[in-house]
Amino acid sequence: MKTIRSRRWAFGVSVLIQAVSLPALAALGSDLNSVQADQLHMKGMLHTTVASAYTVHEIQTPSGTVVREYATPAGKVFAVAWSGPRMPDLRQTLGAYFAEYTQAPRPLHPDHAHFEVADSGFVLQSAGHMRAYSGRAYIPQLVPQNVAVTDIK
């Protein structure tokens, strides 16, 4: 009986902590201080790869979706990319740019498999269908000079 009560108490405390904690996320355009928070939010495995002009923080979720956050040496997230059977939480991934994504004009005859937003300060390209989604978003001004946009994948 005491074990059941302590389990219920621990469960209640964990639910309360999750309810009152605000997510700190390394979203597009933000500082990279919180990649581990993203990993916890996505319940994924984190793998970091350092390249010459940027660092890639790759998070693989239990569902198989992979989210890559590209950061400058100064720790600024200049791009994000995703691929897998499910779309990531774009509100989390795009951060302040989510509003620009949702307010972007949609074509009259939309191609359900492709979507693109492109202006001078924000680019998003998304494609896919059920169980096969991919995309990328980046801030052109933050992409390091010696990095090709095609490297963001």
Going from N- to C-terminal start, the domains of the chain cover 23-151
How does pLDDT run across 85-132, given as a tens digit for each residue? Answer: 999 999 989 999 999 999 998 877 766 678 999 999 999 999 998 899
Give the tens place of pLDDT for each residue, 37-83: 778 888 999 999 999 999 999 999 999 999 999 999 999 999 999 99
- pTM greater than 0.95 (yes/no): no
- φ, ψ of residue 133 to 5 degrees: the values are -110, 150
Residue 51 to residues 23, 71, 95, 147, Cα–Cα distance (Å)? 28, 10, 24, 10
